[in-house]
A and B are shown apart, each in its own frame.
Chain A
Amino acid sequence: MTRTVLCRQRRDGGVMVHLHLLSKLKSAVVVVVVVGCVLVFGKLAGADARSDLESLKRDFERLKSEYDSRKNEVGKYVENSRSLRAFDKDEMEKLIKAMCGQDVERDDDESDRVNKDLRERAVDTVRRKWDDITREWDGVEDRTERLQNDLKSLRDKVKYIPEEDAVKSDRASLLDQIVRTIDETDRLYAKLQDDFRALSNVKEGVMYGANNPKIRAAMEYGKRKHVEMQSSCHEKETVLSSGRPDCIYFLKDDCKVVEFKPSTVGESAARSQAERYLGDVQRYFKEDKRAVENCRKDSSGLPIFLAEGKTYYACTP
């Protein structure tokens, strides 16, 4: 800008001197001098604009290189955030699997406590990872926004350079490159924003897991299965010193204690748990009419119950 003004002053001064001297000279000489002056001025003015353009080109090269760094940074961030999303999904699946794998009593406070504990642990793990990734996001977002502003400011500076023939083509080319880089940076920024929104949505799924329908369903699944399977039992959840067997049947010559477990726990475990109650059930129901009439008796006249383990398909994440 300063150089352009100086050039203009020099040009004005020169024209005044020549007009005074040429008043007596022939028009041909005047034309030669004027043309020469114009050529000198043009050369000087073009040189200053080119110099400005070169300087702005260097600025652009620097910003272009910064754009490449931001692009890499955003790429890495998205990669990280993808891993959190996968991790988040894994945590959710692990959480639901753990809930599904539980043996749940129909009115069991313990299972509610375990479910709550499982959920809190998953939330805690996700939160820690989430905090790290959002810190990273903040930094990347700041730097990308700053790059957007720097590029826009550079674009304005280039626009300010006069469209003279000497720099016209270079100016247009630089402007075009800057505008393209601005577009790319805008896309990068939008990508960051979209990713953050998606990440927040996924995170909410675990962070506010109790309201998550999948988690809620898993928490209730075991209880519902027990209630369903207990519908035909003759006795259920009888309180004994050894625990509360899920189900007792007084069938003719086939009295039995039945324990329900998810398939992930397995029949062997369910059978073992049922076996635990046998002695207590025999004594508890020894005078019960149903036991007296239907169960086989041992040498002491106690009703004999068999242990049975039944499994139901565990819910899946």
Chain B
Amino acid sequence: MTALGAALYHDCSLAEDTRPIEALWDALLADEASLQQFCVPVAPRKEAPSTFRREQLLQRVKRDELASFLVGTPATIGDADAVTVGVVLQPSTAAAQEGRAGYRYRLDVALGAAAVNRRGAASIVDALVACANAVKPRAGVVFPADTASFAHALATGTRGGLTEEQDRRVKDVFYAVYELGDKIRGPEWGTFLGPHHVAKLGGLDRIEKESGCAVVRRLAHGGAYLQITGTHDDPGVDAGRTALAMFLSPVM
């Protein structure tokens, strides 16, 4: 039983086209009986979490009222059943705001172990790949984690409520993606490549033949999704990551 996290770094304005968010909600949250939304408004005020109201939230996104938001299970639910889909609509760091980060926005997902089991990791990956086809990510990762909370922290590079070891890893991730530039994030169990990465690695055919990944999927914008093993809890993930890191070294 392992939790799963994912992050996509992209430049696609979701305020202009909310369909990728909606598709992700439909794929990952449709079965949840109770959902909450937590909005971080552009205006300098704080909001309390409230019941998820899809249309109302989408309208606020379209009106550019929000800097970011989270939709997911309430905080009171156990970690294993937790699911969150987070969307950053306005760049948060100075580097992202000034165009030095290599991306402007982030989309993140975290699911607890039981939530992953119920949906199946493959269907979660399908949803993420479909989303990637829509938002054309410059980079991204899908990774197993001990808990949903840790998965969320790793996906967002934000901290709190973690062990020292987990906290160190999250700090490393944050510094690594702060100015990602043309580099990839990862590699992880699942790694998204932008078109420039694919080109730099010699094209998709070469990636398919030489990356050693169990899954290689072509993305609509010319990027690719690589997955080390068929399942995220395969014991071969760590060894596969080392081998993939060597293959991807030109873009790391």
Contact = CB atoms under 8 A, between A and B. Distances in A.
Interface in B140-172: 149, 152-153, 156-161, 171
B94 A278 contact: yes
Given A278-B92, A279-B91, A282-B94, A299 B179 contact: yes
A241 B41 CA distance: 12
A310 B177 CA distance: 22
A14 interface: no
B161 to A, nearest CB: 4
B94 A300 contact: yes
Interface in A196-219: none
Interface string B34-59: 00001010001110110000000000
Interface stretch (B18-26, B70-78, B184-192, B226-234): B70-78
Nearest to B153: A271
Contacts of B45: 110, 243
Interface in B80-98: 84, 86, 88, 91-98
Contacts of B44: 240-244
Given A296-B175, A299-B100, A265 B152 contact: no
Interface stretch (A43-51, A58-66, A301-309): A301-309
Interface in A258-293: 258, 263-276, 278-279, 282-283
B158 A306 contact: yes
A279 B100 CA distance: 13
Given A309-B158, A309-B159, A273 B46 contact: yes
Contact of B158 (A275, A283, A304): A275
Interface residues of A, number: 43
A256 interface: yes
B100 A300 contact: yes
Contacts of B247: none
Given A267-B152, A272-B40, 19 more contacts: A256-B159, A265-B38, A265-B75, A268-B38, A268-B152, A272-B70, A274-B160, A275-B40, A275-B88, A282-B94, A298-B94, A298-B95, A298-B100, A298-B179, A299-B95, A300-B94, A302-B94, A306-B157, A307-B157
Interface of A: 101-103, 105, 110, 240-244, 254, 256, 258, 263-276, 278-279, 282-283, 296, 298-300, 302, 304, 306-311
